[in-house]
Structure 1
Amino acid sequence: MTTQSVNQADRKLWLAAIKPPMYSVAIMPMVVGSAIAYAETGQFDSGIFALFLLAAVLILAWENLSNDVFDSETGIDVNKAHSVVNLTRNRRLVFALANLCLGLGIAGIVAIALAQQDPTVLAIVLLCCGLGYMYQGPPFRLGYQGLGEVLCFFSFGPLAMGAAYYSQTQSWSWGSQMAGVMVGLTTTLVLFCSHFHQVDDDIAAGKRSPIVRLGTKRGAALIPWTCGLVFAIAALGLLLGLFPIWTALVFGSLLSAWRLSRHVTRYHDQPQRVFNAKFFAIGFHSWSGVLLSLGFWLSAYGG
C-alpha cells in the first residue's frame, strides 16, 4: 500500500470520526426556530443567531467526543476504526477537547443570556446538556438501556426549538413547538438508524438499543410510520393555521423519506449495506428542515 493510499484512508477515517453531516442536527433547530420567530413576530437578530449557531455546534462536538470517550470505557467501540479515541489513542486528550468545546459553547449561551438579561435560554441549553450527558455518561448511560432516542427527541426537538425561538423573541409559540416535534422526530431517526449495522457489538457490550430490543426487521418497519407522522404533523399545522401555506414545501422532502424507508427496509439485516442508513436519515432531516424553514421565511416576505 502506497503512502498516498494510506493518507487517503486516514483522511476517510477522520472524516467519518468528525461526521460533518451530523452537525445538521445542531444547526436545523436554530434555523427553523429563527425562521418561525421571524415569520410570527418580524424579529430576527443576526448576531444572536450566529452566536447561538456556533454554540450549538460546539456543544454537539462535546457530545460526540465525550460519547467516544464513554464508549471506549465500555468496549463497545472496539471494532469502530473511526472512533476519535481509537484514532488518537489518547482518551484524556479527547476528553479534554470535548470539555473545551462544552465550555466555549456554554460561554456563548451565557453571553446571549447576559445580553438579553434573561437566563431562560441558558436554562434550556443546560437541561439539554444534562440530557446529552445522561445518554452515554456514567453512571446513567441511558443509551445502553434503549432510552437514547427519547433523550434525543426532547434535546434536539421541542427544547432546542423552544430555545432558538425564545432567543429571538423572549416568548413562546405553539407553532414553533409543533415544528419542534417534527425536527425532534427526524433527528431521532438519525440516531435510530445508526444502530442497524452494529447489533452484534451492541449485544456484546450489553447495550439494549431499540434495534437490539425490536430486531432489525421490526425496527425497519417503524421508519415509514415515523416519516409519515412527520408529514401528518405538518398537515395538522397547516389545517390549524399554525403553519402558513408556504410551509407545504416540506412535502418536497417526501422523496428523501421514501429513499430512507426503502433503503432500511431492503437492507436492515445486512450490516455492510445498511451502515449508511443514518446518512439517508440525515438527508431527510436536512431537506425537511430546510424546506420547512424556507416556507416560514417566504411567508414572512410573501404573505
Structure 2
Amino acid sequence: MSVNVGMWMKALQVIPRITREEWEKLDVISRWLISTRAAVLIMTFTSATIGGLLAARDGKFNLVLWLLVALGLVLAHALNNLLNDLTDYERGIDENNYFRAQYGPHPLQQGLMTRKQLLTYAAVTGALALAAGLYLVFLRGWLALVLLALGAFFVFFYTYPLKYIGLGEAAVLLVWGPLMIGGSYFVITGEWSWMAVLAGLPYALGPTTVIYGKHIDKLDADRQKGVRTLPVIIGEKAARASVRVMIVLMYALVAVLVLVGYFTPAMLIVFFALRYLPETWKMLGSPRPSEPPAERKDIWPLWFVAANFYHNRVYGMLFLLGLIADAILRNILLK
C-alpha cells in the first residue's frame, strides 16, 4: 500500500467516487480524507482563517494559536462527518441507495470499512481535536471551555436530533459564525469580540447555503425517511427562496460593514464572486430536475448543493483576500 498524494489532492477538492478495488489500494491518509469528506473541510479552515485575519487586522495575530485552533476545528468537523455517517447508518437512514451513498463513497453502507474501523478513525480524530481544544482551554480559561463544550454538543448532536427536527441549518450558521470565527478570534487574541462575529457572518451564511442546498437536494428522500430538515418542513420553493435571501445578505452585509467604516473598501473584492453567481441563481429559481440534465451529469445527484458550494468556495477565497488587504491597509493607515 503506497502513499497516493494524487488522491490526497483529489479528495481535498471533490468527493471522489471509487470502487472497492480502488479503496483496497489506498493508504490510510487517503481513506481518512475520503471518509471524512475532506473537500468540505475547506469551509471550516476558511472560518478559522477569517478569525485569524480579523485578529491580524487588530494587530493581535499569533501563528501558533491560529494553527492550533484551525487544526482543532478541522478535526472536529471531520469527526462530525464520521459520526454523521455512523449515526445515519445505524438508524437505517442510508439504506436503499439513499442520497448520501449516491454522491460519494459511504464507507459503512458500501462495506469499505467495518464499524470498528470507522470508530477507530473517529477516536483518533476526536482525540487529536480534543487535545488541541484542552490546551486552548488551559491557555484561555472558562470561556474557551464553554466554546469547547458547545462545539462538542454540535459535533455529537447535529446529526441526531438537530438535523431531524429542522434545527440543523440554524446550527450550521451558529457553528461557522460565532463559534468558529468568534471563537478563533477569542483564542488568538484572548478577547471576545461581537464585531468579529458580525464581520464573519457574511461568510458563515455561505456554509449555511451549502447545507441548505444539500437538504433541498434530498428533500424527498428525507421526507420518506422521517428526517425533518428545514426544507422538508417549509417546502422546496420556500427553501430555494431562503437560499437566495442568504446569498443577498452575504454581499449586503459586507457593503454595510464597509459603509460604516469597519472594513476598508478592500473588502468589496468579494463582489467579484458575482461573476460566478448567475448559474447558481438560475438553478435556485426552478425545482430540482427529476433526472440529470445531459450537460450536468458530472455533478448529479448533487444539484443545489454543488451550485452553492462552488459559489461559496469562490466567495470564501475572495473574502480571505479582502481580509488580507484590509488588514494590511488598516495597519498602514494606523501607523
- TM-score class normalised by the smaller sequence: 0.7 to 0.9
- Aligned to 2:231, which of 207, 211, 230? 211
CA distance in 2, matches of 1:253, 1:282: 13
Residue of structure 2 equivalent to 1:108: 132
Gaps of 5+ in 1: none
Instruction: Classify the secondary structure of the residue corresponding to 1:157.
Output: helix
Residue of structure 1 equivalent to 2:108: 85
Given that 1:264 and 1:274 are in contact with CA atoms closer than 8 Å, whether structure 2 keeps it comes out as no
CA distance in 2, matches of 1:86, 1:5: 13
Letter in 2 for 1:19: R
Residue of structure 2 equivalent to 1:301: 328
Given that 1:32 and 1:161 are in contact with CA atoms closer than 8 Å, whether structure 2 keeps it comes out as yes
CA distance in 2, matches of 1:244, 1:271: 46
My pick for the range that moved more, 210-219 or 240-249, is 210-219
CA distance in 1, matches of 2:147, 2:308: 26
My pick for the range that moved more, 12-21 or 269-278, is 12-21
- Aligned to 2:68, which of 13, 28, 51? 51
Letter in 1 for 2:166: G
Gaps of 5+ in 2: 1-17, 293-299, 331-335
- Aligned to 1:98, which of 109, 113, 122? 122
Letter in 2 for 1:28: T
Q: Does 1:196 align with 2:210?
A: no
My pick for the range that moved more, 181-190 or 80-89, is 80-89
Residue of structure 2 equivalent to 1:285: 312
- Aligned to 2:42, which of 24, 48, 52? 24
Given that 1:32 and 1:289 are in contact with CA atoms closer than 8 Å, whether structure 2 keeps it comes out as no
Say which structure, 1 or 2, has more relative contact order (CA 8 Å, 6+ apart). Answer: 1
CA distance in 2, matches of 1:46, 1:233: 28
- Aligned to 2:157, which of 125, 134, 144? 134
CA distance in 2, matches of 1:96, 1:234: 42
Aligned residues: 295
CA distance in 1, matches of 2:217, 2:118: 25
**What is the deviation of 1:228?**
0.3
Percent identity between matched residues is 24
Q: CA RMSD in A?
A: 2.7
CA distance in 2, matches of 1:192, 1:127: 22
Q: Does 1:187 align with 2:207?
A: yes
**What is the deviation of 1:7?**
4.3
Q: How has the CA–CA distance of structure 1 residues 38 and 232 changed in structure 2, closer, same or farther, with 3 Å as cutoff?
A: same
Letter in 1 for 2:252: A
Q: How has the CA–CA distance of structure 1 residues 117 and 230 changed in structure 2, closer, same or farther, with 3 Å as cutoff?
A: closer
My pick for the range that moved more, 255-264 or 160-169, is 255-264
**What is the deviation of 1:77?**
1.1
Given that 2:44 and 2:73 are in contact with CA atoms closer than 8 Å, whether structure 1 keeps it comes out as yes
CA distance in 1, matches of 2:19, 2:151: 41
TM-score (norm 2): 0.79
My pick for the range that moved more, 93-102 or 234-243, is 93-102
Letter in 1 for 2:321: L
